[in-house]
């Protein structure tokens, strides 16, 4: 049996494991993942996987995370196919960790994924976004942000296709002052970086955020600290073999 996707692609019917996940039959999905681990390796096509916009080739793990599956099922799928955490779905080139962060996943789910593959936190999707970008734009709690930065502080340096860093996103979404501090601790220079349209994080601060003045003060203080320690590079004397890079 097959179905036709949004672009005329003929697709196979979902596997029993995928059907269980798609219909939120989590106990059934858990049983299949534990008793038939090979099923966790089966790729399938899903229509409109993200906001109904594009069809995507996915693993059961991607489906489970987009469906906000329980921790036990996520754990079973990772155990059944550990390499699954390193595979990207086909529409936006997103890893399971991207999917989890887009759906504001339970911190325990995020930790499971990071324990399985910490490097996933540094991988960008086709829009240039890291999992941290999505965690911030979807209102993840402080614990999730802390986990992502703990496993890879350099994820604070990510810059998407629009030039937005995680700090820009945090400011725009009205993230807690604690979250803004964590990002600045990981990457202080983020406070002076501009988007492709020329906006620094302080310009992106959400005007409706209850902590907007506190965040602005924090950004201004950090910028002053950077300005006070900045030392311009010395010019190279003519004829010197040294060059500036």
pLDDT higher than threshold 70 for residue 9: no
| Per-residue pLDDT tens over the stretch 147-171 | 999 999 999 999 999 999 999 999 9
Q: Are residues 77 and 145 in the same domain?
A: yes
- 189/102 same-domain check: no
- Number of structural domains, the chain? 2
Model pLDDT for residues 45-94, shown as the tens digit of each residue? 999 898 878 899 999 999 999 999 999 999 999 999 999 999 999 999 99
When the pLDDT of each residue in the chain is averaged and rounded to a whole number, the result is: 91
Whichever domain contains 205, its CATH number is: 1.25.40.20
Phi-psi region of 93 (alpha: psi -120 to 50; beta: other; left: phi over 0): left
Residues 126, 80, single domain; the answer is: yes
pLDDT band for position 238 (50/70/90)?
very low
| Residues 181, 104 within the same domain | no
Range of the domain at 86: 1-15+52-149
Helix axes 107-116, 71-80, angle to 10 degrees: 10
Is there a domain that residue 25 lies in? no
Element spanning 44, H or E: strand 44-46
Q: 205 and 93 in one domain? A: no
């Amino acid at each position: 049996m097959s179905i036709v996707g949004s672009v005329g692609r003929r697709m196979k019917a979902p596997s029993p494991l995928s059907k269980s996940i798609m219909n939120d039959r989590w106990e059934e999905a858990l049983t299949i993942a534990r008793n038939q681990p090979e099923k966790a390796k089966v790729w399938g096509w899903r229509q409109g996987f993200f906001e109904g916009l594009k069809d995507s080739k996915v693993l059961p793990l991607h489906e489970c995370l987009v469906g906000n599956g329980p921790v036990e099922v996520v754990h079973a799928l990772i155990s059944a196919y550990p390499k699954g955490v390193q595979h990207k779905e086909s529409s936006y080139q997103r890893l399971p960790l991207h999917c989890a962060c887009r759906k504001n996943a339970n911190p325990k789910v995020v930790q499971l994924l990071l324990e399985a593959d910490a490097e996933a936190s540094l991988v960008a999707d086709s829009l240039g976004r890291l999992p941290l970008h999505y965690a911030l734009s979807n209102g993840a709690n402080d614990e999730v942000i802390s986990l992502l930065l703990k496993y890879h502080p350099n994820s604070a340096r990510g810059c998407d296709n629009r030039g937005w860093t995680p700090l820009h996103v945090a400011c725009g979404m009205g993230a807690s002052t604690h979250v803004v501090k964590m990002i600045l601790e990981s990457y202080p220079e983020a406070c002076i970086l501009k988007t492709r349209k020329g906006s620094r994080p302080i310009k992106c601060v959400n005007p409706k955020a209850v902590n907007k003045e506190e965040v602005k003060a924090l950004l201004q203080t950090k910028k002053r600290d950077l300005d006070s320690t900045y030392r311009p590079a010395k010019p190279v004397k003519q004829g010197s073999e040294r060059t500036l890079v």
